[in-house]
Amino acid sequence: MEITYAANKQKAAKKSKLFRKDGMKLLLMALPFVAIAFAFSYVPLFGWIYAFFDYRPGIPLSKSEFIGLENFTAMLSDPRMGPVLINTLALSLLSIATAPIPMLFAIMVSEVKNEWFKRIVQTTSTLPHYISWIIVYSLAFSMFSTEGAVNGILFKLGLSDTPVNVLGNYERVWTVQTLLLLWKGVGWSAIIYLAAIVSIDSEQYDAARVDGAGRLRTIWHITLPSIMPTFIVLLLLSISNLLSAGFEQYLVFSNVMVADRIEVLDLYVYRLGLVTGDYSYSTAVGIFKSVISIILLFSVNFMSKKIRGQGIV
């Protein structure tokens, strides 16, 4: 007994030492990414101090006038803040409304039995994620502008006498931008759900087939419930980022006909700071967005704990 106990203790010590070595290796591997996150996400927070001064470029901050919360109170009387918030919330809510589409796409891809066709679908659907918004705009302009390919085909077929200006349609710009965002990101977003589907125990599917369940019933009773926690986590994160509708997309697609409808909060901050040079006020608006995002994150986390019994933080 004593020999067996000593051997087991020695094995446990070796295993613990091995885990410590592996943990140290993983920690060292993660350090560069932690440093990058700290440099780009936390170091810039020191710049928030500019929101409390009447800063002008070329004048040291020590010689700038301290104005306290004036920039924050100015947001209440800013005539552009209301429309900008409406645009941001509308585009974010439309993006959240289309959130189930990547999950459904991942389920359809997982049900494809032909492996080479599945790889082609995954590759072609993921490829748009790596295309910059400038190239996406160039492609969209060549296809949907008044002199683009779509209008040319409609003219030749006699289906339209007047050009359809898709990119300059003031009433449909939110729908167009949501569809472009969906086309660009559906394949990339589906990767997370495909990973969740692969992790499902295959014995559940075998048992369902033995019980006579078809493909649709298997999806409804096994696949969907198994990946639903992943969907809820991503949905909660999307809600917490409600004021972060994006920037590059709306910058490149902005034109005189639709600029007022796609000027989101990030684009508004960019124009305030880098175009008009009002760094103090733009910093205050950025702080407002960050604080609201943090409040939303902890709010949805609290609701998730109350409803599901577990949160994301």
Give residue-wise pLDDT tens across range 26-58.
888 888 998 998 998 888 888 899 999 988 888
Going by pLDDT thresholds of 50, 70 and 90, the confidence category of residue 11 is low
- Partners of 66 in beta bridges: 53
Residues 62 and 85 placed together within one structural domain of the fold = no
Residues 85 and 39 placed together within one structural domain of the fold = no
Question: What is the rounded CA–CA span in Å between residue 289 and residue 268?
Answer: 12
**How confident is the model at residue 190, as a pLDDT?**
93
Domain final position from 17, 36, 68: 68
Residues 202 and 152 placed together within one structural domain of the fold = yes
Does 107 map to a domain? yes
Query: Are the C-beta atoms of residues 190 and 102 closer than 8 Å to each other?
Result: yes
Does 74 map to a domain? no
**How confident is the model at residue 12, as a pLDDT?**
53
Query: Are the C-beta atoms of residues 213 and 94 closer than 8 Å to each other?
Result: no
Does 76 map to a domain? no
Does 255 map to a domain? yes
Residues 63 and 95 placed together within one structural domain of the fold = no
CATH number of the domain encompassing residue 262: 1.10.3720.10
Question: What is the rounded CA–CA span in Å between residue 30 and residue 26?
Answer: 6
Does 73 map to a domain? no
Residues 99 and 133 placed together within one structural domain of the fold = yes
Percent of the chain with pLDDT over 90: 38
Residue range(s) defining the domain that contains residue 221: 81-308
Q: Is the dihedral of CA 226, 227, 230, 232 positive or negative?
A: negative
Q: What is the tally of structural domains in the chain?
A: 2
* Listed residue (108, 176, 101) closest to 136, CA to CA: 176
Domain final position from 28, 47, 68: 68
Domain final position from 68, 91, 116: 68
Residues 208 and 262 placed together within one structural domain of the fold = yes
* Structure-model confidence comparison of residues 271 and 306, the more confident one: 271
* 13-30 pLDDT tens trace: 555 554 566 777 888 888
Percent of the chain with pLDDT over 70: 92
**In this model, does residue 70 exceed pLDDT 70?**
yes
* 96-126 pLDDT tens trace: 999 999 999 999 999 888 889 999 999 999 9
Going by pLDDT thresholds of 50, 70 and 90, the confidence category of residue 233 is confident
Residues 273 and 240 placed together within one structural domain of the fold = yes
**How confident is the model at residue 106, as a pLDDT?**
93
CB within 8 A of 165, min separation 6: which ones?
145, 146, 257
Residues 86 and 28 placed together within one structural domain of the fold = no
Does 313 map to a domain? no
* 138-158 pLDDT tens trace: 999 999 888 888 888 888 888
* Listed residue (192, 201, 208) closest to 226, CA to CA: 201
Residues 258 and 166 placed together within one structural domain of the fold = yes
Place of tokens 């992790």: 199
Does 233 map to a domain? yes
Does 49 map to a domain? yes
Mean pLDDT of the chain: 86
